[in-house]
Chain A
């Protein structure tokens, strides 16, 4: 075991002896700007490479009109033939604030005890907007934050819907927020509102990844001529804010994440514009233009249906005309129903269902027609005319006539002609017959306004009264419920009822002249009234208890003493005394029941 350890130790010693001592190269610093000319809406990448040092502190100068944003640091080291090399690369984004010529002076790099300087850099910031067409050179695209691409519009007719694809490309290296939809600039053309939700995809353009938003726009030329048009869009470029010095936190915050986090974000408005493209608009040919042409340009189909196909004179038939295809549906008008004495027509209703793109769709008309005569065999054919821009000629589509069966009305035909020709006569029911309508011959009651019921006073008063009554009933019910649920109140009520019953018995005994029964009832009444109030069982209440609690001179004490004496000794009392006792009892006990009572005069609390 010991021998094994010794062998490993010797091997390590030999290996260390063989390995050459690392040789550190001389410390140098170099600055490089990836572009020397860029627009004010763009930015350039500044790379500072420090060779021969493991760590270095870069002291960026403050330059008027320029802001530096730290985009991170990378370091690498290598040992080649015993020679140890290391380098640190710091990357910054140079954001110009104004156009002009700028110079970055030599930047001080402190690596340990050594201070080195980078080379001086010169660059130019142009006043451009950053816009460019896709045909621009790759180098110019590379510098751009965003640009707009357009499909070439070509030559079109007045009123024709021209599909155009607007693609706004955003460099994926930049964080950009969109503030508006693309806006059309140019005279003689109009554009339908763009969709809020554009198509999105990623695309590699000249080696850079771009996020592309695309809209399918529908542009229409409203006058003939060559119209230069362009599109623009407002956006905000979000840039990391300048890092604040946080020396106390050391190198932990030399990380872009923390740098952005503590430095905050800066928003800069930018305008992305497209290159101007020429849109050539020509007028529709006058030659061969049919009279029924209403301005529809595109490629359309027409279908006509009718329901019901069996009807009576005067009964409406719904004619459904469906025009579908691709083109300017806003100029599509319903085919004119041929002027005919057999049919009465009404204004059609329109319904438009848009298709997948801005051009395609389906327009549906519902036309009510009424047959004036029986025996009509068909609904005449309808024609619709449009200009086909692909074939560069006018085309007319015609529907076949639709077979119908029109029967005479069951009784007398009721038509508007009948109304017009025959004067109306009063009927028995005070009404005149006017065609399908009855005429009222009474004026009826006049109202100053047509008032809904909820605004009428009587309705409001009735409703209000009901609500008030319900409220009062609810309060009364609550009071009743509370009374039922209160045991003390219940006891008091029972006491009152018992007292009333006892007084009736006493009255009866007095009337009968039964003094013994009278006194016994007096005793019972006093016991039943005072016992529960003092928490003593009524039958257990004695004279001593009463004397303890009530003044000895109280009539109750006297009555109770006399009643006890009569109970044990059989001593009676006169009728006059009975009257007095009854009066005294009534006074003492009824008053006591109402609250200000003998309890108030008692020596001990009740």
Chain B
């Protein structure tokens, strides 16, 4: 009976490992094939393969970056910007992603509005980085408070460090709060999309909106979404023309 049970476990483990190995091999081959397609200049094929890889294995900053590059070269700036933005969410400090995104925006004339000095300051970090900063300051503040229970620190020192910590916590929380909408923005992915005055097809147009523009949905009506873009324009757009940077749960 014992031997049978052990054999059963062994079979299950072997099957699991084999499946995992096959899956990894599959991912590798997809990635390699996609890279090869990129090398041959078959950007459309490469984009499809990267998309398959993302669907199969999940999101990786490097794969999303390559996917964005393939879209960029296959003439889909909207999709390219969407995937660069997604890659930035996973690796905010990657200079390749930042550089390519900046160039692509410039190339497509996707200029943002002029920001005030305070907005520029908060844009130094993204929401995750501001949140991390706030956690670091919170931990420092907590350790300081624990230390004051045992260590004979002077009141002036305790007060100064506490006020500094609290100020930094508040500042980073404000930064995270300010950067929240940008983190959860959507991207116009379809070329030639139009902003409409009302949520129906025959409505008058408010103007066109370029693929790659960051937009912030406010409300939804059937197949239309009321959005505001990063230049301050607003209007209704077809839901299928925009995609969220932070995708929904897989």
Contact = CB atoms under 8 A, between A and B. Distances in A.
Interface stretch (B1-9, B13-21, B133-141, B216-224): B133-141
Interface in A435-474: 435-454, 459, 462-463, 466-467, 469-470, 473-474
Interface string B139-150: 101100110110
Given A350-B208, A444-B61, A452-B246, A473 B145 contact: yes
The B interface, classified by DSSP as helix, strand, loop or mixed, is: helix
Contacts of B211: 347
Contact of B89 (A347, A370, A444, A450): A450
A242 to B, nearest CB: 47
Interface in B211-240: 211, 231, 233
Interface of B: 27-28, 31, 35, 38-41, 57-63, 65-66, 69, 72-73, 86, 89-91, 96, 100, 103, 106-109, 111, 127-128, 131-132, 135, 138-139, 141-142, 145-146, 148-149, 176, 183-184, 191-192, 204-211, 231, 233, 245-247, 249-250
A439 B66 contact: yes
Given A347-B208, A423-B40, A450-B247, A437 B58 contact: no
Given A318-B111, A442-B62, 13 more contacts: A432-B39, A437-B96, A438-B69, A439-B69, A444-B91, A450-B247, A452-B131, A454-B131, A462-B139, A470-B141, A473-B149, A477-B148, A480-B149
B60 A419 contact: no
A352 interface: yes
B137 to A, nearest CB: 10
Contacts of A450: 59, 86, 89-90, 245-247
Which 8 pairs, one residue from A and one from B, show the smallest C-beta to C-beta distance? Answer: A368-B109, A350-B207, A444-B62, A440-B62, A446-B58, A444-B60, A453-B128, A437-B69
Given A316-B107, A432-B38, A435-B73, A459 B145 contact: no
A367 interface: yes
Contacts of A477: 148-149
Contacts of B107: 316, 368, 370
9 contacts: A347-B210, A347-B211, A349-B208, A350-B207, A367-B109, A432-B38, A432-B39, A440-B66, A477-B148
B164 to A, nearest CB: 16
A462 B192 CA distance: 46
Nearest to B89: A450
Nearest to A437: B69
B112 to A, nearest CB: 12
B247 A368 contact: no
Given A436-B103, A469-B146, A349 B207 contact: yes
Contacts of A470: 141-142, 145
Contacts of A446: 57-60, 63
A352 B235 CA distance: 12
A394 to B, nearest CB: 23
B132 A453 contact: yes
A415 B66 CA distance: 19
Contacts, number: 156
Given A443-B31, A446-B59, A466-B139, A424 B39 contact: yes
B59 A447 contact: yes
Given A423-B40, A469-B142, A368 B108 contact: yes
B38 A434 contact: yes
Given A347-B208, A447-B60, A473-B146, A440 B65 contact: yes
A349 B135 contact: no
A494 interface: no
A444 B86 CA distance: 14
A416 interface: yes
A397 interface: no
A366 interface: yes
B59 A463 contact: no
Contacts of B208: 347-350
A274 B141 CA distance: 73
A343 B131 CA distance: 45
Given A347-B211, A437-B72, A330 B135 contact: no
A243 interface: no
A132 to B, nearest CB: 34
A443 B109 contact: no
B203 to A, nearest CB: 10
A420 interface: yes
Contact of B73 (A416, A423, A445, A466): A416
Contact of A453 (B72, B86, B131): B131
A229 B155 CA distance: 82
A489 B203 CA distance: 80
Contacts of B108: 316, 346, 368
Contacts of A368: 107-109
A445 B247 contact: no
B90 A447 contact: yes
Interface in A103-130: none
Nearest to B211: A347
A326 interface: no
B40 to A, nearest CB: 7
Contacts of A347: 191-192, 208, 210-211
Nearest to A429: B96
Contacts of A435: 73
Nearest to B106: A316
A183 interface: no
A431 interface: yes
Contacts of A454: 131, 176
Contacts of B103: 436
